[in-house]
């Protein structure tokens, strides 16, 4: 029987206890980063127009229209205390061969690592992946922060899924140092992933704050779950995990407390034609 894709609105701490033990082969979470700031973004729509002020390929003119602004306050008095019971649920929900990808940034990653060591066991820490990008402002009194941290934990270090042969290939940084055949084939990624953020005017952009690139989630899903596996994201945001899972032949359960996030996710899934059930 084919598993059903589900989209659920609610606080994950209320929703997760109702899900079955060991029911998911992969869990990806991208919780709020506790920046202490309001995060917001407005979707930009660009269309060809004779009177447009932007000039693009072939000298064509384009007009940009700014849509509704979406925002939320990213601040917690006790961030780790807020996260810990939710991550304890993640451990319960992971299958024996399952993997957790925990996406955070430099502000909290050290504290989160200690917390997750306590829940999953330090021996089950598999990797720290660095997602590096080059976009946005440039600080003048410190090194500009241009990366996120993704902590990778497995349920059981002796038995977990890692599909090395299914990994995408990336170019060699020094192709002249390898054979022509290797240079043409590319190499498998390391623990440092160079990937641009979702382009402001790209078709992938939903207008949701902190939306992550589909390429990042596709790599995670294909590497750390088997076809047909169930994938869980309980800070679902714009639904990127669901899209990556469905396109890779996995099912998904997406949970978010924000009505705005659920609306963005449903609109996105409907537009692509990915079936799901609410609740």
Between CA 115 and CA 87 the distance in angstroms is 9
Residue with tokens 């609410």: 278
Helix (H, G, I), strand (E, B) or coil at 124: helix
DSSP for 55-95? E-GGG-EEEEEEEEEEEEEE--SSHHHHHHHHHHHHHHHEE
Between CA 109 and CA 117 the distance in angstroms is 12
Q: Which two tokens stand for residue 256?
A: 């978010």
* Model pLDDT, residue 198: 85
**Nearest residue to 213 (alpha-carbon basis) of 275, 249, 168:** 168
* Model pLDDT, residue 205: 82
Q: Which two tokens stand for residue 50?
A: 């004779």
Looking at residue 170, what DSSP letter applies? B
pLDDT along the chain (279 residues), means of 10: 88 97 98 60 49 50 50 63 96 98 95 97 98 89 94 97 96 94 95 89 79 95 98 96 98 96 95 95
CB contact at 8 A, 227 and 249: yes
**Nearest residue to 100 (alpha-carbon basis) of 124, 78, 82:** 124
**Nearest residue to 153 (alpha-carbon basis) of 104, 214, 194:** 104
Helix (H, G, I), strand (E, B) or coil at 101: strand
Number of helical H runs and strand E runs in the chain: 7, 12
User: What's the longest Cα–Cα distance across the chain?
Assistant: 63
CATH number of 6-40+75-278: 3.40.50.150
Between CA 239 and CA 267 the distance in angstroms is 10
Looking at residue 187, what DSSP letter applies? B
């Amino acid at each position: 029987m084919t598993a059903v894709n589900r989209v659920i609105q609610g606080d994950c701490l209320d929703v997760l206890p109702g899900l079955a033990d060991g029911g998911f082969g992969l869990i990806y979470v991208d919780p709020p980063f506790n920046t202490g700031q309001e995060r917001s973004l407005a979707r930009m729509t660009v269309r060809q127009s004779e009177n447009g002020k932007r000039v693009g390929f072939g000298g064509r003119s384009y007009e940009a229209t700014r849509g509704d602004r979406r925002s939320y306050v990213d601040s917690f008095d006790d961030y780790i205390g807020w996260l810990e019971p939710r991550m304890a649920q993640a451990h319960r929900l992971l299958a024996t061969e399952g993997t957790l990808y925990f996406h955070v940034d430099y502000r909290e990653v050290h504290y989160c690592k200690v917390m997750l060591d306590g829940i999953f066991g330090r021996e089950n820490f598999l990797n720290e992946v660095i997602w590096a990008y080059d976009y946005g402002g440039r600080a003048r009194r410190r090194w500009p922060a241009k990366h996120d941290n993704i902590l990778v934990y497995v349920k059981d270090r002796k038995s977990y899924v890692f599909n090395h042969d299914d990994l995408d290939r990336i170019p060699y940084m020094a192709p002249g140092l390898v054979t022509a055949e290797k240079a043409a084939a590319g190499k498998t990624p390391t623990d440092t992933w160079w990937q641009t953020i979702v382009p402001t005017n790209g078709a992938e952009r939903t207008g949701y704050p902190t939306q992550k690139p589909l390429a990042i989630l596709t790599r995670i899903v294909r590497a750390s779950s088997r076809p047909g596996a169930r994938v869980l994201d309980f800070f679902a945001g714009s639904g990127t995990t669901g899209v990556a899972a469905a396109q890779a032949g996995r099912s998904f359960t997406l949970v978010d407390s924000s009505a705005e996030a659920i609306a963005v996710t449903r609109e996105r899934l409907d537009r692509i034609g990915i079936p799901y059930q609410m609740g």
